Amino acid sequence: MDNSLSGKTALVTGGSRGIGKAIVRALYGAGARVIVAAREPKTLIRAAKEIGEIICVPVDVRRDVKKLFRYVDRLDILVNNAGGMEHFGSFETTSLAAWKSTFELNLWSAVEVTRAALPHLRRSNGCIVNIASDVGRRPFDMGPDYCAAKAALINLTRYLAAELAPVRVNAVCPGPVVTGPWGAAAIRKAAARTLAGRTGRPEEVASAVLFAVKCGYLSGAVCGVDGGSVRTP
Amino acid sequence: MMPKVVLVTGGSRGNGAAIARVFAAAGYRVAVNYRTSRADAEAVAETFGGVAVKGDVGKDAEALVAGVVKKLGRLDVLVNNAGASDRAAWTDDLDAVTDDLWDRILETDLRGTFRCCRAAARVMRKGKGNGKIINVTSIPALTGEREGIVYSIAKAGVLGMTKSLAMLLAPRIQVNCMALGSIETRWVEWLPPALRNSYASAIPVGRFGRPEEVGELALFLASSDWVTGQTYVLDGGEARV
């Protein structure tokens, strides 16, 4: 059994389902004590029943960061996973309100959680993993707000790797992973974007996160886990 | 189930030896390739019951790969670690870049890597499971470097090769690249001691990387069927590219 993270405390935002839940499972499986923040108490409790003794904090990281950190006593690992694509429009059809909402969910929440986590991470000489996206490295044909927010998160990762050192900061960029009710056509289109010819599994992303947490020389790195959909930096 | 087989080129010391050890500890059967350092390669292989295999990747890649398959029965992972590591290549004098130097570096770092990839791909395509190819490049290939221009050219070639091969060999063979920063190998020993500390303190993590950490990255890349065509930078946060 892997016990390499025994004695470490991790916080995963958006950890009750999809990729986040797989990350929680991987960290917990490696022996870490895991605090999980997610919006919906019911899915959070369901995740805990599946995974084990995780610490569940039902909060919305867009507004309740202070409340979340009442439950954080120490921290070695922060995974900024909360995020998502809310709009699928073109640039012309994406309103400023939509842009703001996307940045709030995908970038500002990570900024706020990171600010709150920083004193803990400095004390523990810890690490941060930001979950970005392959479309943050190379945009696809819709959702300019989401592509730009994830690109900003990637650039922020590289920035923070210098300023927060020796705290390590890395990004993991998943390609298409089916975690919600996608239609068959959307899945086909997403799979065609990859060299693997298939969409990814949450566990495949989680194993990259686990590697980024464990490898002490990895910092400022942008780790693509996307079936080869994006091959540029 | 038969254990998987990995071939690590340039495995007699430094990163190659560490990669070999990490794979062996993870249960792989390991072929440790060497060109001239037979005793070193045998000593590495002996610690975990691997085999040392002779071969110059720039000249006899095909025979090298065939030899590994003959000895160990299969090939699942190729780590193209062999590099010329030629001290003469570290110069900012363009006129010192002779045709001879150019040929020496590119023969090993670029053509040798390509020929090993091609030879391994032939074997992996016939095998049942997925194959993995892991190449080694370096930060100068991404950022440029005042010293070591031939080296940066060769390693930039490896970057392009990695992406093209990832496309060509998909979906059964995953091809990725490790872009290494300052790892504690011979090049660190070449640095004047006074420079070493200032180099290390310029790295956000505050130290040089350990060869074992390169091994961990290689092992991760060998473990994933959904990571391909990627360049993973391992440099302690130095380049941030």
Mean pLDDT of A84-109: 97
Contact flag A162-B228 (C-beta cutoff 8 Å): no
SS3 (DSSP) at B158: helix
Residue found by looking up tokens 């045709």 in the block: B99
Region label for B159, one of left (φ > 0), alpha (ψ between -120 and 50) or beta (otherwise): alpha
- Predicted pLDDT of residue B205: 97
ipTM score here?
0.97
Mean pLDDT of chain B: 95
pLDDT > 90: percent of chain B: 88
- Predicted pLDDT of residue B183: 95
From the list B163, B227, B237, the residue facing A219 with the nearest CB is B237
CA distance A95 to chain B (A): 32
From the list B142, B170, B220, the residue facing A228 with the nearest CB is B170
CA distance B101 to chain A (A): 29
Mean pLDDT of A183-189: 94
What are the residues facing B180 on neighbouring strands?
B138, B234
Does the CA dihedral B234-B238-B239-B241 come out positive or negative? positive
pLDDT of B134 over the 90 cut: yes
Chain A residues at the B interface, defined by Cβ less than 8 Å, are 158-159, 161-162, 165-166, 168-169, 175, 195-198, 200-201, 204, 207-208, 211, 214-228, 230-231, 233
Identify from A121, A154, A218 which residue to disrupt to test chain B contact, counting B C-beta atoms within 10 A and taking the largest count.
A218
Mean pLDDT of A173-193: 94
- Predicted pLDDT of residue B190: 80
Mean pLDDT of chain A: 97
What are the residues facing B33 on neighbouring strands?
B53
- Predicted pLDDT of residue A60: 97
pLDDT band at B85 (very low <50, low <70, confident <90, very high): confident
Mean pLDDT of B201-221: 97
pLDDT band at B1 (very low <50, low <70, confident <90, very high): confident
Mean pLDDT of A115-124: 98
Domain positions in chain A are 9-225
Contact flag A165-B204 (C-beta cutoff 8 Å): yes
From the list A207, A223, A226, the residue facing B223 with the nearest CB is A207
Burial of B26 (0-12, 13-18, 19+ CB in 10 A): middle
Q: Picking from A173-182, A216-225, B152-161, which range would have the lowest pLDDT averaged per residue?
A: A173-182
Furthest-apart CA pair in chain B: how many Å? 55
SS3 (DSSP) at A131: strand
Tell me whether residue A146 is one of the annotated catalytic residues. Answer: yes
Contact flag B220-A159 (C-beta cutoff 8 Å): no
- Catalytic entry in A71, A146, A159, A217: A146
- Predicted pLDDT of residue B90: 86
A9-225 CATH: 3.40.50.720
Structural domains of chain B ordered from first start: 5-234 (3.40.50.720)
Q: How many helices (H) and strands (E) does chain A have?
A: 9, 7
CA distance B220 to chain A (A): 7
